[in-house]
Structure 1
Amino acid sequence: MREAISARETWPFECLRCLRVWEEEYVVHRTRDEQGVDVVIWTRDEVVVPPPWSGTTCPGCGREIVTSFPTGYLAHHPESAPGREPAAQAPAGGTPARGVPLASQALLTLALLLLAGAGLYERLNAG
Structure 2
Amino acid sequence: MSEIADTPVPVPAAGPAAVSAPDVQTVHEAYSFACMKCGFGWEQSYAIEHHTDGKGQPFIMYKVNGERVPSPLSNPTCLNCGGHVVRIMRAGTVSQVNATIDRLYHHRIAPGIAGPVPAGENPPRAPRQRRPSHDSPGPVAVNEPGRRPGPLSRLLGRLRRS
TM range (shorter): 0.5 to 0.7
SS in structure 1 of the partner of residue 37 of structure 2: coil
Task: Give 1:11 shift.
Answer: 1.0
User: What is the match of residue 58 of structure 1?
Assistant: 78
User: What is the match of residue 78 of structure 1?
Assistant: 96
1:48 and 2:68 are equivalent in the alignment: yes
TM-score (norm 1): 0.53
Unpaired runs of at least 5, structure 1: 86-127
1:67 and 2:87 are equivalent in the alignment: yes
Q: Percent identity?
A: 22
1:35 and 2:35 are equivalent in the alignment: no
Picking from 16, 26, 35, the partner of 1:6 is 26
SS in structure 2 of the partner of residue 2 of structure 1: coil
- Of structures 1 and 2, the larger Rg is shown by 2
**CA gap 1:11/1:19 in 2 versus in 1, 3 angstroms:** same
Q: Which has the higher strand share?
A: 1
SS in structure 1 of the partner of residue 23 of structure 2: coil
Q: Which stretches of structure 1, 4 residues or more, deviate above 6 A after TM superposition?
A: none
**CA gap 1:9/1:67 in 2 versus in 1, 3 angstroms:** same
What is the aligned-residue RMSD (CA, Å)? Answer: 2.8
Task: Give 1:34 shift.
Answer: 3.8
1:24 and 2:47 are equivalent in the alignment: no
Aligned residues: 82
Q: Which has the higher helix share?
A: 1
Unpaired runs of at least 5, structure 2: 1-20, 103-162
Task: Give 1:68 shift.
Answer: 0.4
